[in-house]
Amino acid sequence: MEGQEYELYRRTTEVYMKNGIKNITMDDMAKELKVSKKTLYKYVKDRPELAAKSMEWKLAYDKKFVNDILAKNLNAIEELCEISNFYCANLMQMHPSLHFDLEKYYRHAWEQFIEYRNSFLYNTMLSNVNKGIRDGLYRADFDIEVIVTLYIMKVDMVFDPRVFPISKFKFAEVYIEMVKYHLSGIASEKGLKEMHRLLETKCLGIPKNPDLQLAS
């Protein structure tokens, strides 16, 4: 995926993040992107395929961003905080209906997300927990697979308006609380000190001015 096609899906993702998916027709998308419908149909045959291609682009973007964080070789808590801040900024961009739209109306795109969650996100968190135990920042008296599975399943809950109604909760704030809850439950005494140090320096929290442009 490169060139015009890459740029098309990047911009499509911005539209979906801002407006949700269900109510965006191909006509609407063409207008938003300032391209002809013919250009859209050059790459996809219908709305579900466009949603799936957009999801493919977004997940590839997320993987690259997270892998760049992992390459910094931070300690486990710093690493989790940076990853969490990235996802938090995403949640601040995301239309409240996006999760529901994907799950109910765009099955293939939803299944792509589930695969990302159950594979990439799971393995990222598994590696993080093992690193934290190895370095003495996390305790070792828990079932690692259970804890990691609980974590990734709670990610789904965070941006589900049926669980946290948008009239009462903000997705990004719920996400940060979930991360702090997770860390508080597995951190050693040394890890808790590191967590509080990072909290004091605002290394885990709601971004004040998140970059709303998805970088190419």
Mean pLDDT of 123-149: 97
Q: Which residues contact 56 (CB under 8 A, 6 or more apart)?
A: 1, 9, 112
Separation between Cα atoms, residue 141 and residue 205, nearest integer Å = 28
Instruction: Examine the pLDDT at 91 and tell me if it is beyond 80.
Output: yes
pTM of the predicted model as reported, rounded to 2 decimal places: 0.88
Mean pLDDT of 87-94: 86
pLDDT bucket at 23, cuts 50 / 70 / 90: confident
Higher-confidence position of 160 and 26? 26
| Torsion angle in degrees (nearest 10) through CA of 49, 55, 58, 62 | -150
CATH entry, 52-200, from 3.40.190.10, 3.40.50.170, 1.10.357.10, 1.10.8.420: 1.10.357.10
Separation between Cα atoms, residue 177 and residue 71, nearest integer Å = 26
The three-class DSSP label of residue 138 is: strand
Separation between Cα atoms, residue 31 and residue 8, nearest integer Å = 13
